[in-house]
C-alpha cells in the first residue's frame, strides 16, 4: 500500500521515513489525484482547511490518518467525523505509526491512549457515572479496588490514578488487574460499560 504524507514540507521527517521508507510528501492537490483504496494518506494539520481535505481523501477511498503537533480530544473528534481512521501526534515514533497503519488498513480506528482515556471517561459520565453503579457489582470489589475502578472509568491514566490515590503505578496495575478479573472484563471500555450497566440495560 502506498504511503503519502500531505504536508507543506518537501521532505519527510526522519521518523516518518523510518516508518515508511518508500513514502513521499505531497501537496493537497496531488494527494487528491493519488487518492484510492490503495493509498494511506497521512494528513499533517497545517492551517484550517484540513477537515475538508480529510473528507475528500476518504471519499476517494484513501485510508486517512491525521497527525497533529498539538493533539487534543476535540481535534481528534473532528478528524474522525471527517472520515479519518487514525489520529496521533505528528512526532509519534515509527513503531506507533506502523501500528496505526496496520490497524487502519484493517478497518480499525486508532487514537492515542490518553485521548482514548478521555473518550472512555466521557462515555462513563454520559452513562450516569458512579451514582448509577450497581451495588451487587461493587460488592465484589475491595474499597481500594472500587476507588481504582472508578478513577479509571472517569478517564484517568494509571499514573493519574496513582497520584490521586497516593499509591504507586504498580499498585494501580495490580488493583486494576483484580478488578478486570472480578468483573470479567478485558479492558477499560468494557469496564465503563459494565459499571454503567443498569438492570434494564443489556449485558
Burial zone of 102 (CB within 10 Å; 0-12 exposed, 13-18 middle, 19+ buried): exposed
pTM, full prediction: 0.66
Q: What is the pLDDT of residues 154-165, one digit of tens each?
A: 888 888 899 999
> Can you tell me the distance from the alpha carbon of 134 to that of 131, in angstroms, rounded to the nearest whole number?
9
Evaluate the CA torsion angle 24, 29, 34, 40 in order and state its sign: positive
What per-residue confidence (pLDDT) applies to 128? 64
Q: What is the pLDDT of residues 60-87, one digit of tens each?
A: 999 999 999 998 878 888 898 999 999 9
What per-residue confidence (pLDDT) applies to 58? 95
- Give, in order, the Cα–Cα distances in Å from 94 to each of 16, 21, 102, 172: 6, 11, 12, 29
Amino acid at each position: 500500500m502506498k504511503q503519502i504524507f500531505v504536508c507543506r514540507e518537501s521532505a519527510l521527517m526522519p521518523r516518518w521515513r523510518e516508518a515508511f521508507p518508500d513514502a513521499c510528501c505531497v501537496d493537497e492537490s496531488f494527494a487528491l489525484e493519488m487518492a484510492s483504496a490503495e493509498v494511506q494518506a497521512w494528513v499533517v494539520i497545517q492551517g484550517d482547511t484540513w477537515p475538508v481535505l480529510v473528507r475528500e481523501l476518504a471519499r476517494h477511498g484513501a485510508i486517512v490518518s491525521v497527525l497533529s503537533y498539538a493533539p487534543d480530544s476535540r481535534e481528534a473528534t473532528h478528524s474522525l467525523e471527517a472520515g479519518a481512521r487514525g489520529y496521533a501526534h505528528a512526532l509519534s515514533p515509527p513503531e506507533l505509526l506502523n501500528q496505526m497503519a496496520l490497524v487502519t488498513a484493517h478497518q480499525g480506528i486508532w487514537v492515542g491512549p490518553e485521548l482514548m482515556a478521555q473518550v472512555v471517561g466521557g462515555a462513563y459520565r454520559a452513562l450516569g457515572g458512579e451514582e448509577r453503579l450497581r451495588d451487587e457489582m461493587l460488592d465484589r470489589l475491595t474499597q481500594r479496588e472500587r476507588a481504582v475502578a472508578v478513577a479509571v472509568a472517569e478517564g484517568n491514566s494509571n499514573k493519574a490514578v496513582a497520584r490521586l490515590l497516593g499509591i504507586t503505578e504498580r499498585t494501580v496495575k495490580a488493583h486494576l488487574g483484580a478488578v478486570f478479573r472480578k468483573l470479567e472484563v478485558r479492558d477499560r471500555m468494557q469496564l465503563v460499560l459494565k459499571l454503567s450497566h443498569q438492570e434494564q440495560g443489556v449485558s
